[in-house]
Amino acid sequence: MKMIDAHIHLDSYDISQREELLNKIKSHEIEAIISVSMDLKSSKKNLEFKKQNNIVYPAFGYHPEQQLPSDDEVEELIEWIKEHQHGMVAIGEVGLPYYKNLEEQIDYIPYIQLLEKFISLAKEVNKPIVLHAVYEDAEIVCNLLEKYFIQKAHFHWFKGDDHTISRMIKNRYFISITPDVLYEKEIQDLVKKYPIELMMVETDGPWPFEGPFENEWTHPKFMHQSIAKIAELKNLDLICVYKTLYENTKKFYEI
């Protein structure tokens, strides 16, 4: 059954792993990968991967779990994205630095302001937006999305409370499920609550996983096990779940 990895960092893999992944990917029934970017350099790499391989669909953005870029760097990235907007399927990965803030108390205001620029850009270029926003950060992001009337928002590897989940469902925002659905109760509970028609699957590779994936480098083929678990948790036919998740992603990213 066909699959699409809705969120992967292709440029962060070792060269040998990336080559193996791309060369053999169709043998694992993976039709496409959405490769998100960390910054301008990463965006440029992902654009090159797209030119070299027709299964790669890049998103351009600036990952929030890192030091803020300078004003000049932000302007350069945004102008580059506008210039190359036809080579991307979305703005991303962008969002708020939840985990960085756990390690060191940081000033959130500049991060919120930067995110607002990307949300505004997504509106301007009429592209979906890929979001790194978990727990209480998701409320802030929902406020911004509503402010700009953004309808096509994808919260990758989402975690949050029931209030936020209900708000996201009402707004028809998408989430994507990672391989930790096989062993994390929090993700399993989310799968039970969230509508299958607003769901995708991802790996966030090369991020490593535990459980049955311990000591393995992250490969999109892991999604077969994720999808089987989603079908089990939602008590749905496996083939129908494969088809729904595939069509959801294909339609959302217009690929």
Q: What is the pLDDT along the chain (255 residues), one digit of tens a residue?
A: 999 999 999 999 999 999 999 999 999 999 999 999 999 999 999 999 999 999 999 999 999 999 999 999 999 999 999 999 999 999 999 999 999 999 998 999 999 999 999 999 999 999 999 999 999 999 999 999 999 999 999 999 999 999 999 999 999 999 999 999 999 999 999 999 999 999 999 999 999 999 999 999 999 999 999 999 999 999 999 999 999 999 999 999 999
Q: What is the pLDDT of residue 96?
A: 98
Q: What is the pLDDT of residue 10?
A: 98
Q: What is the pLDDT of residue 42?
A: 98
Q: Which residues of 54-91 are buried (b: 16+ CB within 10 A; e: fewer)?
A: ebbbbbbbbbbbeebeeeeebeebbeebeeeeebbbbb
Q: What is the pLDDT of residue 114?
A: 98
The fold adopted by the segment(s) 3-253 is TIM Barrel (3.20.20)
Q: What is the pLDDT of residue 85?
A: 97
**Amino acid at site 243:** K
Q: What is the pLDDT of residue 27?
A: 94
Q: What is the pLDDT of residue 67?
A: 95
Q: What is the pLDDT of residue 221?
A: 97
Strands 3-8 and 129-132: unpaired
Q: What is the pLDDT of residue 101?
A: 93
- pTM for the model stands at 0.97
Distance from C-alpha of 159 to C-alpha of 170, rounded to nearest angstrom? 17
Q: What is the pLDDT of residue 167?
A: 97
**Helix, strand, coil percent content, the chain, rounded in steps of 5:** 55, 15, 30
57 closest CA partner among 134, 112, 127: 127
